[in-house]
């Protein structure tokens, strides 16, 4: 069937707005909320013998994998290695017995990721694939197929596929943890409950669309933009920078907030907006002290946090964007929304071709 933009001006915006529904749809096939359990659509596979995980992907899918690394380590206590596909394939990685190689891809056709998958298979790894196109080559070649149910994604900038990937990866982390005896039934119930809260929290985040459009007006004239985050929100800083580069053509970089002082802080002046992703939680205070280092050097900060975070630290910021207060587990899913909307509105203000940015293809099928 022909896919159209509905009432939206661009596919990207339509896809951003679909996220509460498609994330809920994806979670439905990974959770049994009434039992407080995760239940992957591969019931026969026993994860108990997995000894390490290698995550490989490109672009936005790679950033979803970076978030998952935190979860696999924290919940399942598994060693995790992660690389972009174009590097993994050519660096002679060590592949031990009991290794699970996990490939993440919206299209399931990205040439670098597919080549890496075949390389890992040749190395005797078990192949798991998180993929959005169920008929794709990667879906066909997987031992363990973990589909996202985002529906067709048309905008070149990936949005809903990313949040659905995170939903699947969180469920996978919990499943790995349970199989390895690292998760009590109570802890599992809590993870399920937090994930179940994600669609409503995404909805609440979308309600700030207009406010985010105003902030976009404040950064659209910048030549460079920095994004900062810590822990599982560090990959989101990378994703925010990628989104902005892709569709607005503004130079942007994402950094781990604590790494700023090792170099990038030299870039700070009052022409460089700095977007700080800082949900309340264990890393909030640390992120705030990094933010203050930026402010002390004249940096103009856009703080994205919840009400409490903004009350505590929002005062001297150029702008603030309020998010619903969520559990740190789902913060990367929820904070993806302002990051996507900010890039979107900046691109619209700059008049770029949002759905079909220059030099880019939806699916990169050359190595």
Supply the residues annotated as catalytic. Answer: 362
Site string for ligand AGP, 209-248 (x = CB under 6 A): -------------------------------------x--
Sequence-distant (6+) residues with CB within 8 A of 240 are 227, 252, 254, 275, 277, 339, 342, 343
**37 lies in the site for ligand AGP, by CB under 6 A:** no
Q: State the nearest-atom distance from the C-beta of 118 to ligand AGP, in Å.
A: 15
Is 363 a residue that touches ligand AGP (CB under 6 A)? yes
What is d(CA 77, CA 89) in angstroms, rounded to the nearest whole number?
26
Nearest to 148 by CA among 275, 304, 257, 18: 18
Binding ligand AGP (rule: CB under 6 A), the pick from 24, 31, 59, 65 is 59
Q: How many CB atoms lie within 10 A of CB 115?
A: 17
Binding to ligand AGP in span 173-212, by CB under 6 A: none
* Size of site (CB under 6 A) for ligand AGP: 15
58 or 274: CB nearest ligand AGP: 58
Among 19, 26, 54, 60, binds ligand AGP (CB under 6 A): 60
Asked whether position 26 contacts ligand AGP by CB under 6 A, the answer is no
Q: How many other C-beta atoms can be found within 10 angstroms of the C-beta atom of residue 29?
A: 16
Q: How far is the CB of 105 from ligand AGP (least distance, A)?
A: 3
Backbone dihedral angles phi then psi of residue 104, each to the nearest 5 degrees: -120, 130
**Scanning residues 90 to 149, which ones bind ligand AGP (CB under 6 A)?**
105-107, 110, 113
Q: Are 50 and 98 in contact (CB under 8 A)?
A: yes
| Cβ–Cβ < 8 Å for 282, 328 | yes
Beta strands in 172-258 (DSSP E): 224-229, 251-256
Looking at beta carbons only, is 156 or 275 nearer to ligand AGP? 156
With respect to ligand AGP, which residue has the nearer C-beta, 265 or 333? 333
Q: Tell me how crowded residue 306 is: count the other CB atoms within 10 A of its CB.
A: 21
Using CB under 6 A as the criterion, which residues of the chain lie in contact with ligand AGP when the complex forms? 58-61, 105-107, 110, 113, 156-158, 246, 363-364
């Amino acid at each position: 069937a022909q896919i159209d933009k509905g009432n939206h001006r661009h596919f990207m915006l339509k896809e951003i707005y679909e996220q509460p529904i498609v994330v809920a749809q994806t979670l439905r096939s990974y959770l049994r909320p009434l039992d407080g359990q995760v239940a992957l659509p591969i019931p026969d596979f026993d994860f108990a013998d997995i000894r390490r995980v290698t995550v490989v992907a490109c672009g936005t899918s790679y950033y979803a994998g970076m978030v998952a690394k935190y979860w696999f380590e924290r919940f399942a206590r598994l060693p995790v290695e992660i690389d972009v596909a174009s590097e993994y394939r050519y660096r002679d990685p060590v592949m031990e017995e009991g290794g699970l190689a996990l490939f993440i891809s919206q299209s399931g056709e990205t040439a670098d990721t597919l080549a890496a998958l075949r390389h890992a298979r040749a190395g005797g790894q078990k192949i798991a694939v998180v993929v959005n196109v169920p008929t794709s080559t990667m879906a066909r070649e997987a031992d363990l197929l973990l589909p996202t149910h985002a529906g067709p994604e048309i905008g070149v900038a990936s949005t809903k596929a990313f949040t659905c990937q995170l939903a699947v990866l969180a469920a996978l982390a919990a499943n790995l943890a349970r199989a390895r005896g690292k998760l009590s039934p109570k802890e599992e119930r809590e993870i399920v409950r937090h994930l179940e809260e994600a669609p409503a929290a995404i909805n609440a985040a979308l309600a700030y669309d207009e406010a985010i459009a105003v902030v976009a007006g404040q950064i659209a004239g910048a030549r460079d933009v920095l994004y900062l985050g810590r822990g599982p929100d560090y990959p989101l800083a990378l994703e925010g920078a990628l989104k902005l580069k892709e569709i607005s053509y503004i130079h942007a970089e994402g950094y781990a907030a604590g790494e700023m002082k090792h170099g990038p802080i030299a870039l700070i002046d009052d022409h460089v907006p700095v977007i700080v992703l800082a949900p309340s939680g264990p890393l909030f205070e640390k992120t705030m002290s990094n933010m203050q280092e930026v402010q002390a050097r004249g940096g103009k900060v856009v703080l994205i946090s919840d009400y409490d975070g903004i009350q505590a630290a929002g005062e001297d910021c150029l702008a603030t964007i309020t998010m619903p207060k969520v559990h740190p587990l789902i913060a990367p899913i929820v904070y993806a929304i302002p990051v996507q909307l900010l890039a979107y509105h900046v691109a619209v203000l700059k008049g770029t071709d949002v759905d079909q940015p220059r030099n880019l293809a939806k699916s990169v099928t050359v190595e």
